[in-house]
Amino acid sequence: MIHAHARFVDSNTVQLFAIDGAKAKPPAKYLRYEKCILASGSRPAIPGPLRVDDPRVMDSTGALELADMPGSLLVIGGGYIGLEMGTVYRALGSKVVVVELTGSLLPGVDGDLVRPLQNHLKTHFEAIHLNTKVEALEPRENGILARLKGDGVEPEMLFDRVLVSVGRWPNSGGLGLESTRIRLNERGFVLADARQQTDDPSILAIGDVAGEPMLAHKAAREAAVAVETAAGAKAEFDNAAIPAVVFTDPEIAWCGLTETQARAEKIKVEVTRFPWAASGRAMSLGRTDGMTKILFDPETERVLGVGIVGSGAGELIAEGVLAVEMAAVARDVAESIHPHPTLSETVMESAEAFLGAATHMYRPRKK
């Protein structure tokens, strides 16, 4: 392994540069290759007005490297990173305020999945301000002054620290890609096909730099495909479901088609929901705030997508991924025996509900 910065000179050569402060220097100035897998990742997006040269204004990387806990924390951005970090800081004793520019937390995620989480966070965070913009951050001796614009919010608030979590940008700049045949889209992502092959025959791309969703498990699957492709084998990233998990409390997880996507694309679906209030295991855990839902094709009864909100949703979604990947139909899931009492039964009962046969929830049988 070589620790160095690299920049493409041409399609088969990179120039190596020593990393500032590193003890070891690159063994050579140039490195030639037959195949290259580009996995340069992404970095936190920091809009201009929020770029403040003060260690008390952090991105998601800096938020993981604190030596002490702030008394108060402003989280800018109600996406998954902001809510996950806010949940951690709240658990460690910080008073957390979340500001989100849009009208909902986790924009783009199905509202019925977000609602239980938002209700929980309202009782644990100091405040959640939606439809609110942070216009400026000003370092002061006793904290960071945030200037806010939104209905019902104080125009100025002081915080010990601020976390900026408004998205991520692909690391595609400064790599010398212009010296290759690689093309980028309008957002700076490297264009690659299902084999992870770029427009340059010598270079493949995986992970965040190759497009959304920016998830480690998606990148791992892409890496396996890229290695097979580079070795001359036939391989494609043809997965039907990429699971997403928001590691908050409660967790949110989904895979396959979502209701939001179905509405936008005018795809006909039938949705069944199983409330965890009807789950014996959820009752014993004191976590009846959850819900499991499945999206079915109303004609073929095929499982198109699964969404879960509740404790351990990230563990439960794997069954949904398998159902979508294997083109399972409602009866496949409903007639698979699930252990009792477990939260996994909520997936089974969601499928049973589609068939009108849920044990713990009345829903008329389909005609």
Matching residue, tokens 């295991």: 281
Q: Is 340 annotated as catalytic?
A: yes
What's the token pair of residue 213?
């969703």
For 5-42+169-230, give the CATH class: alpha beta
Give the integer Cα–Cα distance in Å for 66 and 163: 12
Matching residue, tokens 């002061």: 140
Q: Taking the domains of the chain in order of start, what are their residue ranges?
A: 5-42+169-230, 48-168, 244-354
* C-alpha torsion 21→27→29→30, nearest 10: -120
CATH superfamily of 48-168: FAD/NAD(P)-binding domain (3.50.50.60)
Share of the chain above pLDDT 90, in %: 90
Strand residue runs (E) in the chain = 5-10, 13-17, 30-32, 36-38, 42-44, 57-58, 72-76, 95-99, 127-129, 133-140, 143-149, 156-159, 161-164, 168-170, 203-205, 244-246, 251-256, 270-275, 291-296, 303-310
Quick one: pLDDT at residue 366?
Answer: 59
The stretch 271-290 carries a mean pLDDT of: 96
For 134, phi then psi, to 5°, come to -90, 110
Share of the chain above pLDDT 70, in %: 98
Quick one: pLDDT at residue 273?
Answer: 96
Quick one: pLDDT at residue 358?
Answer: 82
- pTM of the entire structure? 0.93
Quick one: pLDDT at residue 180?
Answer: 97
What band does 28 get if pLDDT is binned at 50, 70 and 90?
confident
The two domains 48-168 and 244-354 share their CATH topology (first three levels equal):
no
Quick one: pLDDT at residue 365?
Answer: 63
Quick one: pLDDT at residue 160?
Answer: 97
Q: Which residue in the list 120, 124, 340, 360 is annotated as catalytic?
A: 340
For 244-354, give the CATH class: alpha beta
